[in-house]
Structure 1
């Protein structure tokens, strides 16, 4: 076995172990709320809702943050759901075998698992909108973290799927947010 294959095998073992740790964690009071969070996050709905609120209530800077955040979500979704998932080629976890309790389950997506599009979009919106309105960062960051964790908790992603998705989203969010701050004139 090559060194690279050995490293990848160990990373996969660690990922499966962490998935099992989350699966064995007994927190029945979180089952329903985290299932609802992960379902709400389908199709980036939370970020559209936040953008709508910013557009209506946030004045010119809020509208700028909303547009910038949604632009980052769009770019991230394209990058993650097209080339990266195709290249990743990772199948979703077998929840029954790996220990995610059935009361937590949501509908298993049919797309590849790697990287997590939910985590990527959440991170992209948070970083890009936060570049325009830094006061939003803590609240958006907390919301994005809950969405990302919910994907492992409900059994539809391995932890590394979520971590890599969030990293991709942060990178794209920083690029889009930085471009908006540098090149788009600030509202008067």
Structure 2
């Protein structure tokens, strides 16, 4: 079964590589680069702290906590456990050079960028529903950019998003529970 999944994963990667939308090349390359070290999420959290009230500050702390837990899980044990999963050979698989970002040195599986983006978007979006759609849209752009720029296979991104979303959901639930306890 695994070889068949790898075939589908590679075929989907190649289909994205064949997409000819030059107007997306620079914006998705910039989005992928900008997401290094969770910059969009740290900046968003900072804005929530500076310009929001107690609820926004709580959401910012929850979102950053979700990123921390996700990064710790994804970038340490999971990437080490899946050490046989190398990055895509984007030249051989047809990703146009105009899309390329610097190739990370870590293993490919799962995508840390996608995991952190989902963790922040899901946790903050649950606590601040008005931000749910824009945060999830931004996280989706980051996740797709990782395949589009050729640094991850689609399954790397899918698993990263799933892990991040689960941790983000858990972080938000814990924050809600803690807030309810403090109110009583």
- Whether TM-score is above 0.5 comes out as yes
1:97 alignment counterpart: 92
2:121 alignment counterpart: 126
1:134-176 CA-partner distances (Å, limit 9, x unpaired)? 2211010000000000000000000000000000000111111
Q: Distance in 2 between matches of 1:88 and 1:142?
A: 28
- Secondary structure of 2:167's aligned partner: helix
1:143 alignment counterpart: 138
From 107, 112, 128, the counterpart of 1:112 = 107
Q: How many residues align?
A: 182
From 38, 56, 60, the counterpart of 1:62 = 56
Structure 1 pair 187–137 and aligned structure 2 pair: CA distance change class (3 A) = farther
C-alpha contact 1:51 1:69 (8 A) present in aligned 2: yes
1:4 alignment counterpart: none
Q: Distance in 2 between matches of 1:46 and 1:129?
A: 13
Compute the RMSD of aligned alpha carbons.
1.3
Q: Distance in 2 between matches of 1:187 and 1:63?
A: 16
From 156, 161, 180, the counterpart of 2:156 = 161
Q: Does 1:52 align with 2:46?
A: yes
Q: CA deviation at 1:187?
A: 8.9
Q: What TM-score, normalized by structure 2, do the two folds share?
A: 0.96
2:18 alignment counterpart: 24
Q: Distance in 2 between matches of 1:83 and 1:159?
A: 20
1:7-26 CA-partner distances (Å, limit 9, x unpaired)? 10000000000000000000
Q: Does 1:175 align with 2:170?
A: yes
The gaps in structure 2 that reach 5 residues or longer are none
Q: CA deviation at 1:184?
A: 3.0
